[in-house]
Structure 1
């Protein structure tokens, strides 16, 4: 899409902030009003629009995309989105530990167990840990508690949490990032712990390394977005 505006800015609106293109408020792809509660988020989205060249590249505007998703998708399908996010708690990767080698098992324990302990204290959700290939059946009270925790976030935070959860493959790690328990870089490290362990042992794969860099960028953007939504 060719750039059709000269300047992007932030304007006050009744109940929040709007992003303005040549003084006109933008709307979501579904034509909904984009009313934002935080000035920092509005400024970040305006900066994405301002940074566009002769053509508008939607892929270069992660904050705009996440905000539009929160308004267009989460608002209209909130319960379904909560269910999709919370479902990761039933098979969370941090609950599955290696039996061997010992140094991998020790690294998993040192990295993941503090997050499970944190989640138990923060959400009253005590999850079961297992080793080997047999799946662990998680206690229903813990799963309900995690769903309640997810449901407590507003629509825009849920947009960021959804991207973090699906990207990292772990609800516990994603919640820890959103809550500020760990940063996004550490979240990626924990989510890819097994892969990184193998890379250390057998050598780096260039394609895998590039995928990790892309994931790290996306998770950092999602974490920053969620943080701006929670101000």
Structure 2
């Protein structure tokens, strides 16, 4: 099987990606192809860093070169390919799938991707706080509020908070200020990372904080799962839920790398 055949079969073109857990589970149900190359590496060419399989540039499902502007990202991509053993497991290649999506989808749909991120900011998870129990309320305030304060300082505008599920429409000026900072995230690679960080955390605010190094990836992940972790403390951990969360974490780590380096 050639590189192009493999990526056409297991790539994920398009700006809108399926749920990463479902995508990984589907990939694991497909018959896995045998590894068809000996060495995965990085070649620098025309100002970009290409993922090379046996010296040939790998290509996306749309036959674009699998090449990025960051050596760190290219090396991480090549490491995913090199780590494949007798068979190639796309579930173990979240970065490759996401970069394929960036190059084949986000590159052609940048405005739509930015608009979707902005829509998330209009109903962001960090703006909706619990009314009870007191322990959860206190934890949300302790963890979420400093992040929200930092992002508000960054954009020079304030978000409205709500309790429970009552919708709070954000001021137009706040969303316009958010959009100006969002526009600073370059497309397509970093923007693809931003989109996935947002969908995996449920928060455009956490994404923007991470993009501007106001918090680190671990802090963003923990903040996004604050409610879930509280419920686990109360009711215990579900094994299947833990497995799904581990898959999402791998997807998140890939997205965070693109956001930082793309």
TM-score computed with the length of structure 1 as normaliser: 0.92
Match of residue 14, structure 1, among 24, 39, 46: 46
Q: CA deviation at 1:79?
A: 0.3
Cα distance between partner residues in 1 of 2:99 and 2:244: 24
Alignment match, 2:21: none
Segments of 4+ moved more than 6 angstroms: none
Q: Is this contact kept in 2: 1:185–1:220, CA < 8 A?
A: no
2:101 maps to which of 64, 69, 74: 69
Q: Offset of 1:109 from its aligned partner? A: 0.9
- Deviations along 1:54-75, one digit per CA (max 9) or x if unpaired, are 2222221122222211111111
Superposed displacement of residue 21, structure 1: 1.2
In structure 2, the residue matched to 1:170 is 203
Would you say 1:150 and 2:182 are equivalent positions? yes
- Residue of 144, 160, 172 corresponding to 1:112: 144
Cα distance, 1:48 vs structure 2: 1.3
Q: Which moved more, 1:152-161 or 1:125-134?
A: 125-134
Cα offsets for 1:196-216 (capped at 9, x unmatched): 212212333333333333322
| Cα RMSD for the two superposed structures | 1.6
1:77 deviation in Å? 0.5
1:94 to 126, 134, 143: 126
Matches within 5 A, 1:76-225: 76-154=108-186, 155-225=188-258
**Cα offset for 1:23?**
1.2
**Distance across 1 between alignment mates of 2:234 and 2:154:** 35
Specify every segment of 5 or more residues in structure 2 that has no aligned partner in the other structure, as ranges.
1-32
For the residues of structure 1 that align with 2:185 and 2:64, how far apart are their CA atoms?
A: 21
Whether the 8 Å contact between 1:28 and 1:34 is mirrored in structure 2 is yes
Residue 42 of structure 2 aligns to a residue whose secondary structure is strand
Q: State the number of aligned residues.
A: 229
Deviation at 1:128, TM superposition (A): 0.4
Determine if contact 2:94/2:250 at 8 Å carries over to the other structure. no
- The alpha-carbon distance between structure 1 residues 165 and 52, as it changes in their structure 2 partners (threshold 3 A), is same
Of stretches 176-185 and 105-114 in structure 1, the one that deviates more from structure 2 is 176-185
SS in 1 for 2:37: coil
Q: Which of 59, 70, 79 matches 1:38? A: 70
The separation in 1 between residues aligned to 2:144 and 2:81, in whole angstroms, is 38
Consecutive unaligned residues of structure 1, counting only runs of 5 or more, are none
